[in-house]
Amino acid sequence: MKRFKLSMLLLAALLFAVGQVVGQDVVGKWKTIDDESGNQKSIVQLWMIGGKLYGKVLQTWDDDGVTPTDKLCDKCTGANKDKRVIGMTIVLGLGKSGDIWKGKKGILDPKKGTYYDVKIWLEDPNTLTVRGSIGPIGRKQTWHRVTD
């Protein structure tokens, strides 16, 4: 009986640990791809605090997708006005519902200075779909996991 209880306890701990890992699949570095040009735009680091998803810009490229840039968010308003895009938090405390992370005005496009409602989900372990929208109008981007 003691052995059975110990086995059940170990199984429960293993299932809990697996659930925690699966829930954090989106955490890490992602290369963003411009949905209009197809060029790389930035590297974004996603992390979780208190069950909420956040992300900040680590690196950016010019519109050509080749030349590194360090632009200011000149179209932003409020606290982000004229701040460096590199280091800026652009994913803002998304909550999880099933397999989708989402939030009202949960993502900032620094190029336009606009906040969008957002839904983020994994297509596969290395591909993230990000859909930003204002009302019924929206766009999708594909982000690719960066492996160091």
Predicted TM-score (pTM) above 0.85: no
- Do 56 and 44 contact (CB within 8 A), yes or no? yes
pLDDT value at position 148?
77
Say how many domains are in the chain. 1
The answer to the question of residue 133 being in a domain is: yes
What span, in angstroms and rounded, lies between the C-alpha atoms of 93 and 90? 10
The answer to the question of residue 40 being in a domain is: yes
pLDDT one-digit tens code per residue, 23-50: 459 999 999 998 889 999 999 999 999 9
pLDDT one-digit tens code per residue, 44-53: 999 999 999 9
pLDDT value at position 19?
42
Give the residue numbers spanning the domain of 109: 26-145
Residue 24 DSSP class = T
Residues of the chain with pLDDT under 50: 4, 6-23
- Strand 89-97 vs strand 137-145: parallel, antiparallel, or unpaired? unpaired
The answer to the question of residue 6 being in a domain is: no
The answer to the question of residue 10 being in a domain is: no
pLDDT value at position 70?
95
The answer to the question of residue 4 being in a domain is: no
Phi-psi region of 65 (alpha: psi -120 to 50; beta: other; left: phi over 0): left
The answer to the question of residue 50 being in a domain is: yes
pLDDT value at position 1?
55
**Which residues are CB-neighbours of 132 under 8 A, at least 6 positions away?**
107, 109, 116, 117, 118, 138, 139, 141
pLDDT value at position 35?
84
**CATH code of the domain containing 123:** 2.40.128.520
pLDDT value at position 130?
97
The answer to the question of residue 113 being in a domain is: yes
The answer to the question of residue 15 being in a domain is: no
Q: How many Cα atoms occupy the beta-carbon half-sphere of 37 within 13 Å?
A: 12
Strand ranges (E), the chain: 28-33, 40-49, 52-61, 68-69, 89-97, 100-109, 114-124, 127-134, 137-145
